[in-house]
Structure 1
Amino acid sequence: MPLLGLLFYFSKTPRFIPEPVMKAKIFSIVILTIILPILLFFLLKTINKVDSIYLKSTKERLIPLFINCIIILLILIRVLTPSEIIELYYFFLGILCSTLTCLILAIFKIKASIHMIAASGFLMFAIAIGIHYHININGSIALMMIILGAIATSRLHLKAHTNQELILGIFTGVTPQLFLCSYWL
């Protein structure tokens, strides 16, 4: 979802951002949010800290969520500074807040749907971009709502989460993005 948010921003923003800057940001985000987590997952699996990619128990979620917090913090410090692209900085700050919240919930043995956190946070960011730049993205928002519903349905169908865990995930994803909108809208 971080990469999707970045690509959505670059495709919808009317601001001029030089192509080399966009490519550098995209490359950095791909490395830090896709490739590095995959490699770290295999490391965690090798040392028996996680059983599967599904992270079914709250105990299994602790280390991956902590590592994700460090990765997002690294992105905020080195890749997306507030002086460059403020909207993306606050989007990733919202991701960090959601991840920290999910980590705290896991410490207290409360499971929230990470899928719903990511998808709903991205949806809130997209809505904010549409409002900020006064652009019509109703089709994109409608599609995202359908995808959000499909994700929730699949999580229930697979019995990976309960209704409460899905609602908690939506709340955890939307709230930081909504709160941080006031800093850049």
Structure 2
Amino acid sequence: MKNHILKGISFVFHPLIMPLMGVLFYFSKTPRFIPLPVMKAKIFSIVILTIILPILLFFLLKTINKVDSIYLKSTKERLIPLFINSVIILLILIRVITPSEMIELYYFFLGILCSTLTCFILAGFKIKASIHMIAASGFFMFAVAIGLHYHININGTIALMMIIIGAIATSRLHLKAHTNQELLIGIITGVGPQLLLLNYWL
């Protein structure tokens, strides 16, 4: 039972959903007026590009034996998916989320791109970072920054995210997917770029 619950946590809070969570969180908290059709178009684009497209590409890579599982257990099988994801995020920055429209989301995705490229470089040196922790901690830092930026109380979100991050870390350790060091590298890789980019929009 415990094993199934922890596996479920890793699945439910998969890194693929974190960019969408960031977008939804931004739209729910920003005091700016954004027309509903614009929000729907952005959300639809993000779902297609960050969830559906990567899943389809994963099955393609699995078919040609380039990856073994969706969790990308080895550093070698991470290289192609991370490179593809970097290209997808770059496409989002160019075509979907521009700084003139939504500067907060633009730098959120720029932070994701920096984290993804860092993870790619680490994988090239056979250093494994937890992608789950990169995604969750990156979103956590963005949520905190949005709270500070708009002077709103997000204590509930912070508390919930700390519980979720703790649950994800526990899950990854229990499943022997990562070591403590790999989880820490993941947190630093996720938080670092978001923190450094705050100077440009906060």
Query: Which of 71, 74, 88 is the matching residue for 1:71?
Result: 88
TM-score with structure 1 setting the length: 0.99
Partner of 2:158: 141
Q: How many equivalent pairs are there?
A: 185
Q: C-alpha offsets along residues 117-151 of structure 1, whole Å, 9 cap, x if unaligned?
A: 00000000000000000000001110000000000
Q: Return the offset for 1:54.
A: 1.8
SS of the residue corresponding to residue 134 of structure 2 reads helix
1:172 aligned partner, one-letter code: T
Aligned to 1:97: 114
Answer 1 or 2: higher relative contact order, Cα 8 Å, separation at least 6: 2
Deviation at 1:55, TM superposition (A): 1.0
Q: Any gaps of 5 or more consecutive residues in structure 2?
A: 1-17
Counterpart residue number, 2:6: none
Instruction: Say what the alpha-carbon RMSD is for the aligned residues.
Output: 0.4
Deviations 1:45-84 (A, max 9, x none): 0111011112111000000000000000000000001100
Aligned residue runs from structure 1 range 31-46, under 5 A:
31-46=48-63
CA distance in 2, matches of 1:61, 1:94: 19
TM-score (norm 2): 0.91
Query: Once the two structures are superposed, what CA deviation does each residue of 1:136-184 show, in whole Å capped at 9, x if it has no partner?
Result: 0001110000000000010000000000000000000000000001100
Residue 82 (1) aligns with residue 99 (2): yes
Q: 1:130-169 counterparts in 2 under 5 A? A: 130-169=147-186
**1:183 correspondence with 2:200:** yes
Q: Does 1:29 align with 2:46?
A: yes
Partner of 1:96: helix, strand, or coil? helix
Unaligned runs of 5+ in 1: none
